[in-house]
Every structure is written in structure tokens, then in C-alpha cells.
Amino acid sequence: MRKVVIAGNWKMHKTQADASAFVQQLMPQLEGVPDERELVLCAPFTTLGLLVDKLQGSRVQVGAQNIHWEREGAYTGEISGPMLKEVGVRYVVVGHSERRQYFGETDETVNARLKAAQINGLTPILCVGETKQQRDANETESVIVNQIKQALVDINQFNLVIAYEPIWAIGTGDTCAAADANDVIGKIRSLLDNQEVSIQYGGSVKPENVDEIMAQSEIDGALVGGASLMPDSFARLANYRA
């Protein structure tokens, strides 16, 4: 059975005080969420310990947004797998388009970070997606196939979540048509050895469109930026109507 994973990606938002208030407002709104849905909050490094603590015994898991491939070393500004594991993080976002675009992430470094996540017992959420220009040039499929193939070299597909996030739909309010996202995700699945990998859609998912997105046959969850920042809105996503 493919697992449903609804994950918030807070990006560079929220202090510890903000995170604390968020959890307090969120928890009562999750009581009706079906047990089989996995809920995750991927937060900045400074709030991870606090979130793990506050969410202990709840159904919400905590994720980081990046991981270095080495255990330790002279890599100023980076965080390693053992550090995340010690804090109690369960997931980590790898290869988000903002990291590829602004911080020089490549398919090779994505692959190395995926390995580090798995070695440390974390579940990576591998992000792939095409630019608007690539979509307009009908290159979506080739771009995605390439990203997936390179990212997954020597990666265990039994501890993996993939997020299809068309770059032009991230933070723009411009969602990919649910049926189009479904087609691309079906294509990604056809490249995998393990057909049970959960594949999310990401890019302007919000309370108004989550039900339609989650109704698609190939879509197993959502990776959500903006709409995960308000507790009411994240709760509505978690409570999507199937």
C-alpha cells in the first residue's frame, strides 16, 4: 500500500516562539485525520529540537530541509545526518528547487545527500521538477527522467518519498492542473523499481485545491510551502476530503 504523506515545508520561516504557537493551534485540529495519513513538518534547523519535543507522542513527524553527505568536517553552514538523527528528525527534504537554483545543488549532490539521509535512518523527500521554459519546450518528461535517474543511483527505494514540484507552480499560486501532475507522477512511478514509493505533488497546494489533487490516482500526498505556515490551513490539508 502506498502511504499518504502530507508534508509542510516551512522554508526560512518561523522562530521557536512561532513554531510553538503553531503546534498549540494545530493539534486540536488533527483529531479527525485518518490514521493512515502521515503528517510531517519540515522546519528550519533552529526549530527542529523544539518541534520534536512538542510533537512527541503526536502523529506529526518532524523533517529537516537539508542534510550534508559527510558525517562531519570543514563544511561551514552545513548540518550532518548524525546531528539530525540525534535531534529526533525522521524526514529530510533533498534537492528542493530553491536549493538547486540558489545554492548550487546538482543531481550529484542530491544523490550524495539522499545516501546520507538513508545511512542515518532518515526518510528523504526527493524533489524534482521542471522550469516554465522547459515545460513550454515540451521537455518536462526528459528533465524529470534525467533528475530521477541521476538522483536514484544506488538509492534504496524502500525508504524514500518523491515530490514532483514543477518550479513554475512553487509559490506562484499557479497550480499544475491536477490531471497533468498525475500524468508526470505516473511517469515517475514507471521509472521506479519499487511501485510503493509515495510520490507527492508540490506547488501552490492549498485548502481550495487539495481535495482535487488528492483525488488523483497517482498522487500520494503533498509537499506544501505557503499554505503550511498557518495552522488552520495545514490542518485543512491534513483533513483533505478523499
96 is catalytic: yes
13 is catalytic: no
- Strand partners of residue 2: none
**From the CB of 170, what's the least distance to ligand PGA, in Å?**
4
> Which pairs from 114-117 meet CB under 8 Å and 24+ separation?
114/151, 114/152, 114/155, 114/160, 115/69, 115/154, 115/155, 116/67, 116/68, 116/69, 116/70, 116/80, 116/81, 117/67, 117/81, 117/92
**From the CB of 165, what's the least distance to ligand PGA, in Å?**
6
Q: How many CA atoms lie within 13 A of 100 on its CB side?
A: 20
Of 19 and 40, nearer to ligand PGA (C-beta) is 40
Positions in the binding site for ligand PGA (CB under 6 A): 9, 165, 170-171, 202-205, 223-227
Of 18 and 28, nearer to ligand PGA (C-beta) is 18
Q: How many CA atoms lie within 13 A of 53 on its CB side?
A: 8
Of 48 and 224, nearer to ligand PGA (C-beta) is 224
* CB-CB contact of 12 with 64 (8 Å): no
Three-state secondary-structure class, residue 219 = coil
**From the CB of 24, what's the least distance to ligand PGA, in Å?**
23
**From the CB of 164, what's the least distance to ligand PGA, in Å?**
11
Of 4 and 224, nearer to ligand PGA (C-beta) is 224
User: Out of 38, 68, 96, 98, which one is annotated catalytic?
Assistant: 96
Residue nearest to ligand PGA (CB): 225
Known catalytic residues?
96, 165
